[in-house]
Amino acid sequence: MARSLGRYTWQFDRVFLVGEAAVVGPKEGEGPLRDDYDGIFSCPYAGQPNWEKAEQSFLRDACEKALEKAGKAKEEVGLFVAGDLMNQLTTSSFVARSLSLPYLGVFSACATMAEALAVAALAVDSEAESLVMTGTASHNATAERQYRYPTEYGAQKADTAPCTVSGGGAALLGRDSPGGAGRVRVAAATLGKVVDLGAKDPLNMATAMVPAAADTLAVHFSEMKRDPSDYDLIVTGDLGFHGMPVLRDWIRRHGYDLGDRYSDCGALIYSPTQPEVFNGGSGSACCAVVTFGHLVRRLRRGELRRVLVAATGSLHSTVSARQGETIPAICHAVVLERET
């Protein structure tokens, strides 16, 4: 049964990743993790008439592939927890409409994946549900349209600008999983608080999110009575190439040194030499496809034993940014462990 450690952390007893899948668009499919995805769409439209529908098909496809890999039928799933970046969570809700399952829509911007995973794990560990599906998706063009400029508009972007990942990731959580040793479980989750130190530039969100990430990581280490060295890998969500060194420095203030165990999903998903990736990947799919595609594969292969995924999100809206408000940020962390 799940129990609380301190104010922010939940520790789970028996929550396993039963099946997971990651599907991506063409740009991600050309990135360094191309071999770790379950599906790569060759066109950003994904065979749909518009970007919004393409984003939905990323999520739907990831959910179907996760069910298929787990060998489960849709009817066995008791709850669907999903989120995305679109206004009113249209992507998740429209996918939930076709799945026709009990559904909770969650939002933490680019940190949604960890929030969904924490909620789903709690539902499983409390024995309220025996099989729960979570998923998040984002699409570069829908995010550009909603948060920035029309996709074909020729505004010059700075190197600190995020590149929203096109893709979707989904995972099935259950109380048991076949496979004995090598099973991957969700061991704990640390929920973040909203941190805002006054950063204002929506085209440099990484620096707005660093304090939130450092705060959640420090709280996690202290409440779990662990050190960074207890993890084989610590990844943040989408701080990117320029945010990573800032976090390394920032977390030293809390007395922790991340060393060479530290990486970032946004920096892993693209190579800095790819055209127009700027600061690296971002968006609610970024953390999901890297975790469910790349990291869980490495856990299952035994290359990693314990991973801390600290998903980061900026909670501003276009209206709040134009009204001169600063960018509140949040970071939720989940621990994935391979059973020995």
Q: What is the distance between the alpha carbons of residues 233 and 173, in angstroms, rounded to a whole number?
A: 22
| 186, 133 contact by CB (below 8 A) | no
In the complex, which residues of this chain contact other proteins (CB under 8 A)? 49-52, 145, 149-160, 199, 204, 207, 210, 242, 245-246, 249-250, 275-276
Count other Cβ atoms within 10 Å, centred on residue 7: 10
CB of 318 to other proteins, least distance (A): 12
Count other Cβ atoms within 10 Å, centred on residue 194: 13
17 three-class SS: strand
- Residue found under tokens 């059973």: 339
Is the CB of 58 or the CB of 278 nearer to other proteins?
278
127: left (phi over 0), alpha (psi -120 to 50) or beta: left
Count other Cβ atoms within 10 Å, centred on residue 176: 12
CB of 274 to other proteins, least distance (A): 13
CB of 13 to other proteins, least distance (A): 40
Is the CB of 3 or the CB of 252 nearer to other proteins?
252
Q: Where are the alpha helices (DSSP H) in the chain?
A: 26-29, 51-70, 90-99, 112-125, 140-147, 205-224, 240-252, 265-269, 284-289, 296-301, 318-322
CB of 295 to other proteins, least distance (A): 26
CB of 312 to other proteins, least distance (A): 15
Question: Sign of torsion, CA 82 84 87 91?
Answer: negative
Q: What is the distance between the alpha carbons of residues 262 and 232, in angstroms, rounded to a whole number?
A: 9
Is the CB of 132 or the CB of 209 nearer to other proteins?
209
CB of 218 to other proteins, least distance (A): 16
Is the CB of 5 or the CB of 246 nearer to other proteins?
246
Is the CB of 58 or the CB of 250 nearer to other proteins?
250
Is the CB of 9 or the CB of 166 nearer to other proteins?
166
CB of 143 to other proteins, least distance (A): 13
> What's the distance, CA 291 to chain centroid?
7
DSSP string, 226-257: --GGG-SEEEESS-HHHHHHHHHHHHHTTT--
Is the CB of 8 or the CB of 147 nearer to other proteins?
147
